[in-house]
Amino acid sequence: MARSSIISPGLRRSLTGITVLVLVFVYVPLTLVVVNSFNIDNTFGFPPPGYTLHWWQVAWESQGARSALWTSVKVAIAATVVALLLGTLAAMALRRTRFFGRNVVSLLIILPIALPGVVTGLAFQNGFRTILGIQLSLWTIVIAHATFCIVTIFNNVQARFQRLGGNFEQASMDLGAGRWTTFRLVTFPMLRSALLAGALLSFGLSFDEIVVTTFTASSQDQTLPIWIFQNLFRPNQAPIVNVVAAVLVIVSAIPIYLAQKLSGSQAEGLTASP
């Protein structure tokens, strides 16, 4: 390989070694969670004295875990729908237009994810309860989640606009299509995969969120992360929590696979980083 010649063999070897070590560091804890879900010992002694499927069966029947999962899915879908709408509108507005507030708008979109979760969470809780006098509910969670999900859609749509430019839409308009027809037949199909990748990321972000959620959820609303957190320290629930955790580790491969299919390659569309 030609490119290897730019780095000396010695350095090359040490970089390879460190890379392997970092990957081990990344994957050993996740593997442990999956292994422990089969651990016969309910205090997770290592190495496991024996293996069982018992905990998987118990977890499957756990009412708490099931209803928390459903709550999380509902919240994530609702937050994603709102984010899709607002993120796309914002990206369309900032496209091709230079105006004085442009940077302010981008900053405002990034802010909810750049500020620590406790700040966003407490700001919303204080806003809802102290200022507006609203009871916390599933809807308050959705509002808070949608706020930090907008950036995922915005980034994806903006990147797509930058890549494809406006020629197709211009052509469509020149050929007599109106704005709406152009949006429906040209702009939207052009954005579809970017929207899907953004929505996937937004769903994942909301589904996984716990800090902002604890501040904006009432005591009755249990999303899956809240359920996990509340049962984490209960010894008799620990094996069930561990199975749920193992499932989440395994399931996390699905969005990676989908996003890879959607965006072809590279990190575009997969990271929340602005």
Size of the site for other proteins (CB under 8 A): 99
**Binding-site member from 166, 181, 188, 261 for other proteins (CB under 8 A):** 181
1 binds other proteins (CB under 8 A): yes
Applying CB under 8 A, does 190 fall inside the site for other proteins? no
In the bound state with other proteins, the residue whose beta carbon lies nearer, of 87 and 198, is 87
Residue from 19, 103, 162, 170 in contact with other proteins (CB under 8 A): 19
Task: Tell me how far apart the alpha carbons of residues 161 and 91 are, in angstroms, rounded to a whole number.
Answer: 8
Chain centre to alpha carbon of residue 183: 27
Binding status of residue 15 toward other proteins by CB under 8 A: yes
Stretch that binds other proteins, among 36-44, 63-71, 73-81, 189-197 (CB under 8 A): 36-44
Q: How many CB atoms lie within 10 A of CB 274?
A: 13
Would you say 61 or 131 has its CB closer to other proteins? 131
Smallest gap from residue 180 Cβ to other proteins (A) = 5
Query: Please, are residues 243 and 56 in contact by the beta-carbon 8 Å criterion?
Result: yes
Does position 210 bind other proteins by CB under 8 A?
yes
Residue 134 lies near other proteins (rule: CB under 8 A): no
Smallest gap from Cβ 183 to other proteins, in A, equals 10
Neighbours of 86 (CB within 10 A): 17
- Count of alpha carbons within 13 angstroms of residue 170, beta-carbon side: 5
71 belongs to the binding site for other proteins (CB under 8 A): no
Q: Which of 149, 204, 222, 237 binds other proteins (CB under 8 A)?
A: 204
Please identify, using beta-carbon distances, which residue of 123 and 164 lies nearer to other proteins: 123
| 51, 70, 99, 188: which one binds other proteins (CB under 8 A) | 99
**Stretch of 57-65, 118-126, 162-170, 185-193 lying at the interface with other proteins (CB under 8 A):** 118-126
Range 51-70, binding other proteins (CB under 8 A): none
**Interaction with other proteins in 219-258: which residues (CB under 8 A)?**
225, 228-229, 232, 241-242, 245, 248-249, 252-253, 255-256
Strand partners for 39: 51
Among 50, 176, 220, 235, binds other proteins (CB under 8 A): 176
